Structure 1
Amino acid sequence: MNEEQIHRDAWNLYFELRQQGKSKSEAVAGAASECGRSESTIWEWKKKFNWDERESIRAATINQKVEERLNEQLVDLKVQYLKLLNDLIFEVLEERRSKSRDAVKIKSIPDLERVINMALLLIGEIGEERTEEKEEAEYDTELLQEIGRKLIEERKKRRGHDHLH
């Protein structure tokens, strides 16, 4: 028996139901109902046309595409955070040069070091082992949250300032 359109339609229904969390039996029953065929016929097609293997291959392909999209989103997020951190670092440097008190809210060299380390971590310049040691020894979650809030505030202020000019 050659695979025809009715078989492909049944397979697609079966796969869709499996992706929705249905068991194999439930998916066979659903496909049988939709296609107007008996469950035993769908079971035969499932075996004849290797639906289990096809399901594995298609699910792996879908998972790979989802992972690629997530990786792209993660990279975009890292780029945004890195830009914020770089802006903050350059503000600190400018403040040190101009002796201005208004530009930045980082209060100490260790705070600046933490911001720089976060930027390096985002671009992969700090290894995992060193990061874990640093987290235990130096990183204060409240400080990181505060820096994050300040970064967001500064970015909003700049956007508002940029739109006025």
Structure 2
Amino acid sequence: MFPPETAHYLSLNALETLSFLHFKEARPIVSDNIEILGLDFQNRLGLAAGMDKNADYINSLSYLGFGFLELGTLTPRAQSGNIKPRLFRLRDERSLINNMGFNNKGIEHAVLKIKNSMSKAVIGLSIGKNQETPLEKALEDYLFCLEKAYPVCDYVAVNI
């Protein structure tokens, strides 16, 4: 069995490979469009932040039929996150403990990826502060990310 973090990226890369083969776009699991604050969601089932930390797999993940994709968590500057291992499998509970530490390529990378995506899904961005940013300056990190994210996504989630 692969380590959890390796399995995470292997699954994303496999999905990316399949999407290049132009497999048929998945139908939404539940087809119940809903409009919320002017946003048209295909359905109420979305993908939470953490799966596509850098907005590198938007088009591929869109094929799966989610009502929305939440990308990130993104910080003002790229950061490597916590020291590995940082994702732990609890076999008996069939769950994971995530101690990744917001590893990401930075908000500007994600903004460019979103601008170049062909996805029609509702796109949310989860934003956070950099690890080295002191708490008294955290607001500056959040505002920087918000200014970058706001023009290119449908909603922003603040990860504190």
Instruction: Classify the TM-score, shorter chain.
Output: under 0.3
Report the TM-score when normalising by structure 1: 0.21
Question: Larger relative CO (CA 8 A, sep 6+): 1 or 2?
Answer: 2
The structure with the largest strand share of the pair is 2
